């Protein structure tokens, strides 16, 4: 038997009729409303009933205030119904009250019980009897509530405590409950979800002022305040369990920082046994470097718990979605970015990139500023530091070149793979100062002229080389007349020298333009 059944949480009109003082009472109307809850007893003789009741009272009257006509009006019953009074009891001994058929009919339609005492009764005795019972029952409920609270809290100390809390809550409420646990990255369904979950009541679960879950309860018309107090105690226990889990995950997160940093910097360190086992053989591994919309989270020592918890939910969701696609992952911070080590457990012909892109697309629907760089796969942990540099380089490019790199039809992407960089892979291995000097040696007269006169001859040269020096196609792309293009080409000829269209010089110019765009698109780099 549940605790709720033991303390008899609902006291109804039907229960009142079973009390000894109600022996001989007769139900005149509203038989279908006997399950209305009674929270208090109120003696009310005036006809302005709605001003003196608060709801769920059992109203007692003798009819002394009805007036000379001795007629109880429909409007008076309507006031009591609208005020959520539980029932009306009338003593017909000292004053006769006429109850018309219309009053009875209205009470029946509203499921509002009208009870008659045809023998003398003491309203004081009735009030004292029911109030004493209600007070004792309230005390029993408090004792039961304390016992249930202790049971919930004890379950947080056990394995699978969360599931056990939900099981106990189901037993006490005698209904279906389930939890959406946002710390795990996806809803954790404890029970079979009803066909119409929107018909259920939801209760938010917060930890450190962060919304970390929702408890759903299939409630019915017989749910009382005591039921909701039990739900409140369960929510407290669930929040404590989720906070405990978060603390464990945070410690695991911090412990990952050391060995992942060692891998990325070719230092020797102690790897978790799980990583060593799963990285054996030909199992592909890969690095991801990504940046979020909350860059100040990278320093875990200065980040508040609530802020980190809020972002931690997103990281867990990312890991869960990757896991569903056969990719186990570990995440931590590295300098001013996040690092992710992935192991493709499926290792199927379906490229890990296809699955990774699908997950990242889902993640960035609500986080459009998130960006990720992905390395090639590797199988030896000794080479991990080389592939981490690939992921970092891919992330450092805010946009990737199209299939014609020299054309620089730049396409923004949230996820960039190292292989998509083309010749830019090579540029990433060269000191930026050397690259800048190279393109300045080739393009400086052009860039200086553009800066001084507000022109864009560099862009004209870009498109001219992209179209294989086709003047008509270049003019069309620039939306200018051919004569205007001839004028610009003559200007370029004077600035770069007459040999700029020789094979060797063209190759050097194409390379310089490619490097110019590479430098321009590196995060944190200047255009020049």
pLDDT digits (tens, 9 = 90+) for 68-104: 566 778 888 899 999 999 999 988 876 667 788 898 9
Residue that terminates a domain, selected from 246, 267, 287: 246
Judgement on whether residues 306 and 328 belong to the same structural domain of the protein: yes
Asked, for residue 117, whether it belongs to a domain, the answer is yes
The C-alpha R_g of the chain, in whole angstroms, comes to: 38
Q: Over 80: is that where the pLDDT of 297 sits? A: no
Judgement on whether residues 263 and 276 belong to the same structural domain of the protein: yes
| Confidence category of residue 132, pLDDT binned at 50, 70, 90 | very high
- Distance, in Å, from the CA atom of 371 to the CA atom of 391, rounded to the nearest integer, reads 11
Residue that terminates a domain, selected from 418, 439, 466: 418
DSSP per residue over 392-428, as a string? HHHHHBSEE--SSGGGT--EE-SEEEGGGGTTHHHHT
Asked, for residue 508, whether it belongs to a domain, the answer is yes
- Distance, in Å, from the CA atom of 435 to the CA atom of 431, rounded to the nearest integer, reads 7
Judgement on whether residues 258 and 358 belong to the same structural domain of the protein: yes
| Confidence category of residue 391, pLDDT binned at 50, 70, 90 | very high
Q: Over 80: is that where the pLDDT of 50 sits? A: no
Show the domain range for 402: 250-418
Q: Over 60: is that where the pLDDT of 191 sits? A: no
Q: Over 50: is that where the pLDDT of 525 sits? A: no
C-alpha distance from residue 389 to each of 289, 299, 338, 369, 381 (Å): 9, 21, 13, 22, 14
322 touches 343 (CB < 8 A): no
Judgement on whether residues 348 and 488 belong to the same structural domain of the protein: no
- Ranked by mean pLDDT, the top range of 124-128, 136-140, 335-339 is 124-128
CATH of the domain at 106: 3.40.1390.20
Judgement on whether residues 409 and 455 belong to the same structural domain of the protein: no
Q: What is the pLDDT of residue 237?
A: 94
Q: Over 80: is that where the pLDDT of 307 sits? A: no
Asked, for residue 139, whether it belongs to a domain, the answer is no
* Average pLDDT of the chain to the nearest whole number: 85
Judgement on whether residues 242 and 270 belong to the same structural domain of the protein: no
Give the pLDDT confidence of 412-427 residue by residue, as tens digits.
568 889 998 888 888 8
Residue that terminates a domain, selected from 100, 130, 160: 130
Give the pLDDT confidence of 216-240 residue by residue, as tens digits.
888 877 787 888 899 999 999 999 9
Q: Over 90: is that where the pLDDT of 457 sits? A: yes
Asked, for residue 337, whether it belongs to a domain, the answer is yes
Asked, for residue 527, whether it belongs to a domain, the answer is no
Judgement on whether residues 338 and 311 belong to the same structural domain of the protein: yes
Judgement on whether residues 276 and 203 belong to the same structural domain of the protein: no
Q: Over 90: is that where the pLDDT of 488 sits? A: yes
Q: Nearest CA to 37 among 227, 285, 275?
A: 227
Judgement on whether residues 95 and 55 belong to the same structural domain of the protein: yes
Say how many domains are in the chain: 4
The pTM score is 0.64
Judgement on whether residues 204 and 59 belong to the same structural domain of the protein: no
Q: What is the pLDDT of residue 301?
A: 62
Asked, for residue 136, whether it belongs to a domain, the answer is no
CATH of the domain at 390: 3.30.70.270
Which tokens sit at 210?
Answer: 């962060």
Q: What is the pLDDT of residue 459?
A: 92
Judgement on whether residues 199 and 66 belong to the same structural domain of the protein: no
CATH of the domain at 445: 1.10.10.2840
Q: What is the pLDDT of residue 405?
A: 40
Judgement on whether residues 161 and 194 belong to the same structural domain of the protein: yes
Q: What is the pLDDT of residue 403?
A: 38
Q: Which residues contact 399 (CB under 8 A, 6 or more apart)?
A: 410, 411, 412, 413, 521
Q: Which residues contact 232 (CB under 8 A, 6 or more apart)?
A: none
| Confidence category of residue 398, pLDDT binned at 50, 70, 90 | low
């Amino acid at each position: 038997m549940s605790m709720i059944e033991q303390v008899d949480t609902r006291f109804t009109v039907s229960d009142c009729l079973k009390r000894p003082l109600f022996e001989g009472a007769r139900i005149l109307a509203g038989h279908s409303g006997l399950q209305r809850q009674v929270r208090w007893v109120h003696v009310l003789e005036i006809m302005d009933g709605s001003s003196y009741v608060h709801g769920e009272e059992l109203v007692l009257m003798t009819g002394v205030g009805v007036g000379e006509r001795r007629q109880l009006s429909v409007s008076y019953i309507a006031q009591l119904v609208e005020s959520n009074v539980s029932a009306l009891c009338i003593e017909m001994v000292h004053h006769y009250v006429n109850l018309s058929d219309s009053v009875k009919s209205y009470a029946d339609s509203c499921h509002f019980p009208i009870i008659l005492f045809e023998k003398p009764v003491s309203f004081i005795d009735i009030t004292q009897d029911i109030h004493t019972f209600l007070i004792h029952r309230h005390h029993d409920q408090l004792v039961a509530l304390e016992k249930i609270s202790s049971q919930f809290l004890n379950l947080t100390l056990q394995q699978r405590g969360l599931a056990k809390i939900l099981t106990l809550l189901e037993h006490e409420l005698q209904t279906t409950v389930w939890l959406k646990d946002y710390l795990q990255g996806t809803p954790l369904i404890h029970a079979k979800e009803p066909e119409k979950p929107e018909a259920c009541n939801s209760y938010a679960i917060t930890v450190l002022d962060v919304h970390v879950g929702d408890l759903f309860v299939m409630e019915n018309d017989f749910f009382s305040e005591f039921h909701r107090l039990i739900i409140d105690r369960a929510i407290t226990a669930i929040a404590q369990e989720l906070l405990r889990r978060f603390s464990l995950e945070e410690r695991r997160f911090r412990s990952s920082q050391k060995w992942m940093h060692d891998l990325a910097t070719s230092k020797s360190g102690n790897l978790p046994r799980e990583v060593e086992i799963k990285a054996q053989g030909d199992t592909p591994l890969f690095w991801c470097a990504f940046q979020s919309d909350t860059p100040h989270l990278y320093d875990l020592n200065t980040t508040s718990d609530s802020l980190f918890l809020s972002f931690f939910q997103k990281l867990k969701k990312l890991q869960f979605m990757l896991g569903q696609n056969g990719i186990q992952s570990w995440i931590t911070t590295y300098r001013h970015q996040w690092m992710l080590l992935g192991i493709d457990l499926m290792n199927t012909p379906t490229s890990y990139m296809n699955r990774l892109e699908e997950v990242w697309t889902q993640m960035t629907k609500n986080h459009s500023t998130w960006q990720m760089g992905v390395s090639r796969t590797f199988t030896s942990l000794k080479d991990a530091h080389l592939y981490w540099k690939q992921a970092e380089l891919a992330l450092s490019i805010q946009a990737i070149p199209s299939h014609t790199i020299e054309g620089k039809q730049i396409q923004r992407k949230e996820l960039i793979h190292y292989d998509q960089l083309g010749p830019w892979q090579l540029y990433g291995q060269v000191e930026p100062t050397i690259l800048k000097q190279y393109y300045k040696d080739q393009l400086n007269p052009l860039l200086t002229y553009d800066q001084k006169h507000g022109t864009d001859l560099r862009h004209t040269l870009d498109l001219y080389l992209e179209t294989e020096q086709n003047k008509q196609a270049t003019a069309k792309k620039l939306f200018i007349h051919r004569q205007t293009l001839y004028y610009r080409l003559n200007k370029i000829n004077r600035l770069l020298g007459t040999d700029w269209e020789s094979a060797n010089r063209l190759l050097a110019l194409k390379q310089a333009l490619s490097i110019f765009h590479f430098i321009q698109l590196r995060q944190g780099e200047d255009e020049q």
